[in-house]
Amino acid sequence: MEKGGRVMDFGSQVKKLRTSRKLTQEQLAQKLNVSRQTISGWENNRNLPDLEMVVMIAKTFQLSLDQLILGDSTMTTKLMNDSSETRKMRINLYVTIIMTLTGMGCFLLFKIIGSSLDSNGVLHEPFFLIPIGYLFLLMGLISGFNYLFKKLRKRN
């Protein structure tokens, strides 16, 4: 949508849609299950909604996503960055799971292989699996904390 020959920003677009349907910020906030301050923040371009909320806004105003977001390059960029961040978070979660399972697998393998004494009285055991197991568990723990901190930061 255009305003005065230029592309209309997302905030102006939401405000125009809201006022054209004679909705107050409070009424729109109730429909979208957010606070009135959130609507105000969008309309004044202090922040932008995430993709899930953009879909809800489009449904509320019976618009396609193209009609709602493609006119605003800031919104398009934000949604692309959100998508990239979500992909990174998913990879981080997979790395956490793989590292943790590999660490536990090392301990299990150590127990399965066990130890033995040969005829010369030399002990044979896969002792190297223990530090490797701890290393993988530590890496999984670090990766898991990284995932949690990013997830918490994204919420706030």
Residue 152 to residue 156: CA distance in whole angstroms: 7
Do 116 and 94 fall into the same domain? yes
In CATH, what number is assigned to the domain containing residue 14? 1.10.260.40
CA nearest to 16, candidates 67, 90, 82: 67
With DSSP H G I counted as helix, E B as strand and the rest as coil, what are the percentages for the chain, rounded to 5? 70, 5, 25
Q: Work out the angle at residue 155's Cα, subtended by the Cα atoms of residues 9 and 150, and round it to the nearest 5 degrees.
A: 110
Task: Read off the pTM.
Answer: 0.50
pLDDT of residue 5: 39
- pLDDT at position 65 is 76
Question: Which residues span the domain enclosing 46?
Answer: 2-71
Q: What is the pLDDT of residue 110?
A: 95
Query: Which domain-ending residue is among 15, 46, 71?
Result: 71
Picking from 11, 40, 71, the residue at the C-terminal end of a domain is 71
Both tokens of 138, joined, read: 């530590």
Same domain, 126 and 105: yes
Q: Which of 38, 71, 104 is at the close of a domain?
A: 71
Based on the fold, state whether residues 56 and 97 are members of the same structural domain. no
| Measured distance CA(107)–CA(29) in Å, rounded | 53
Return averaged pLDDT per consecutive 10 residues of the chain, 156 residues in all.
51 88 93 93 87 88 77 65 77 93 96 90 91 96 89 72
What is the predicted pLDDT for the residue at 95? Answer: 93
Residues 114 and 145 reside in one and the same domain: yes
pLDDT of residue 85: 77
CB 86 within 8 A of CB 27: no
How many structural domains does the chain have? 2
